[in-house]
Each structure stands twice: as C-alpha cells, then as structure tokens.
Amino acid sequence: MTPSEGVGRGMESVLEMLESLLALGGMVLLRDTVEWEGRSLLKALIKKSALYGEQVHVLGCEVSEEEFREGFDSNINSRLVYHDLFRDPLNWSKTGEALPGGPLEALRALCRRTDPGPVTVALDSLSWLLLHLPCTTLCQALHALSRQDPCPGKQVRVLGLLHEELHGPGPVRALSSLAQAEVTLSGALGQASAHILYRRPRQHPTHQTQWFSILPDFSLDLQGGPLLEPQPQPDPHTPLVDPTNHLTFNLRLSKKEREAKDSLTLPFQFSSEKQQALLRPGPGQATSHIFYEPDAYDDLDQEDPDDDLDI
C-alpha cells in the first residue's frame, strides 16, 4: 500500500472509530493508566461531539477550567459548559462559590437539565467521583443519566474517564457493565493504542484495537502500528542486483532431474526390493567371512550358553 493510500484508508477509519464510539449512545468508558493518559482522547471525543453541533457538559473534578479548555478553538469552547468541581469540591473555603450539594448533587443536576437537543456529558473523572461517593450511588446516578430517552431529540451520551489503577475489580466491573463501549488505553514504543469493546444490544460484544496519536488541536491521527525505526531507503542510483545470478549451486531442477530425484529410493527406506536384495546375496556381493585367531586364554566352548533358555 502506498503511503497516500494508507492515509486515505486511515481517514475513513478515523471517522469510523470516533463515530462508532459516539453513535452508540449510552455510556463510553475510557480506562487509562499513569503511563497512557486518557484525557486527550476524552477531549478528542468532546471535540467531535461539539462539531456535530451538540452541547457538551463537562463535570470537571481534576483539572481547572482553563486547563481543560486549552487547545479547543472558540467554536468548540462556546458549546462547552464546564461545571467546576475543581476549585472547591468539598466546600472548604465556605465562600459560597462551590457547587451546591457537592459532587452528587452536581451529577444529579445534569440528569435534570431541560435544554433541548442531544447532549454529551463528560465526566472528568469517574475515578474522582468513585473515591468520593459510594459505588452504588454513583452507578444509580450514571444509570439515570445515560438511560435512553424514547424521545430521539433528548439523547444523552456519557463519556467517563476512569483511572484503572485506583480501584478494585468490583467497582470497575460495575461501571463497565453500565457502558455500551469501553476503551482501554495502552501502548508500546511510544505509540498509544486503544482497545475498544463494543456492547451493542442483542449482539455479541466486538473488539477492535487501534493505534493512534492525538494532535495538538485534539483531532485524532490513526497509525498502523508502533513507529519502528525508519527503514533506510535503497539508493536509487545503485542498480538492483539479482542475488540468484552466478551461483555455484543449482537453485532449480529441470524436469528430467526432478523425475530422477522422485524415482530415487532413499537408503533407509525399506521396500520389498530391498528386502529381497538383503535375503539373497547377489552375484556381485561377496559373502562375508569372520577370521578369528583364538588367544591362549580363550575358552572355546562350543556349547551355546543360551541353550537352557526356554525361548
């Protein structure tokens, strides 16, 4: 495949990957680790949703609003509503600036929003919420949030960022069971990869692995695999030499040679002709003799010592 063909196919796959993640509705769970962070992919998905014309509500617990909006252009930022749980989530400053009711109330308020149109809710991060709220409460709130409304205009898509190492298997699986798609981030050789698990209703779960990188403007760039060292290009001026010329041995067999080879009996293959040849000494074959000079101490007993065995 030439590089340009690869890019063309890559562009289709880019759209496929993001669109398929966003098309399912319900919850998309992004599982990241310390080494392979997931906020960039979350922002790439948010950018895609915003470009569709949707409004995006972000429940931001881990980074400030400025840091989150960094990298988005004004078009996307105008569609982004940032609910700030970073500055004062636990109401320690008592200045009244904190969101009333704390994180749980903020989450429930998102369920109750009444603006029209499809909406994307991004939770940055689910790990923070899971550390501060009981798992059951969080799962109930998420279920209420991502439940498919029969009215198509009020679809809610939930994107949740989860830091895998912070939680035991129980809460992670509970959240995973609520998700329609799960993206696990990892990578190799400096290249990030996403393992995507789709859970479509009434179908088998499907897997897909995709190598990618995020550009500074949070668009997605798909890769074929981890970037290896660039192969040295052959010098176009040196003529390509055929290594099979001027060999001292034969690489190919002619038809006659092949027939002779096929009809050859191998030395250790036991066929009926060989058996006969062994049993009947041929005219050219000399019978073998054993010449024995007994020593002075040899005991030449003609009796067969195995005679008494009952064989």
Partner 1 sequence: MFPELNNLLNTTPDRAEQGKLTLLCDAKTDGSFLVHHFLSFYLKADYKVCFVALIQSFSHYNIVGQKLGVSLTAARERGQLVFLEGLKSAVDIFFRPQEEPHPLQFLREANTRNLQPLYEFVREALKPTDEEEAACRCPVLLVDDLSVLLSLGLGAVAVLDFIHYCRATVCWERKGNIVALVHDSGDAEDEENDILLNGLSHQSHLILRAEGLATGFCKDVHGQLKILWRGPSQPTAPRDRSLTYQYKIQDKSVSFFAKGMSPAVL
Question: Shortest distance, CB of residue 33 to partner 1, whole angstroms?
Answer: 9
Q: Which is nearer to partner 1, 174 or 214 (CB)?
A: 214
Q: Which is nearer to partner 1, 216 or 282 (CB)?
A: 216
Question: Shortest distance, CB of residue 28 to partner 1, whole angstroms?
Answer: 19
Q: Which is nearer to partner 1, 50 or 145 (CB)?
A: 50
Question: Shortest distance, CB of residue 110 to partner 1, whole angstroms?
Answer: 21
Q: Which is nearer to partner 1, 77 or 191 (CB)?
A: 191
Question: Shortest distance, CB of residue 238 to partner 1, whole angstroms?
Answer: 31
- List residues near partner 1 by CB under 8 A: 34-35, 37, 39-40, 62, 64, 66-67, 70-71, 86-90, 92, 127, 131-132, 163, 165-166, 190-191, 213-214, 216
Contact predicate 8/35, CB 8 Å: no
Q: Which is nearer to partner 1, 17 or 130 (CB)?
A: 130
Question: Shortest distance, CB of residue 20 to partner 1, whole angstroms?
Answer: 24
Q: Which is nearer to partner 1, 90 or 278 (CB)?
A: 90
Question: Shortest distance, CB of residue 29 to partner 1, whole angstroms?
Answer: 16
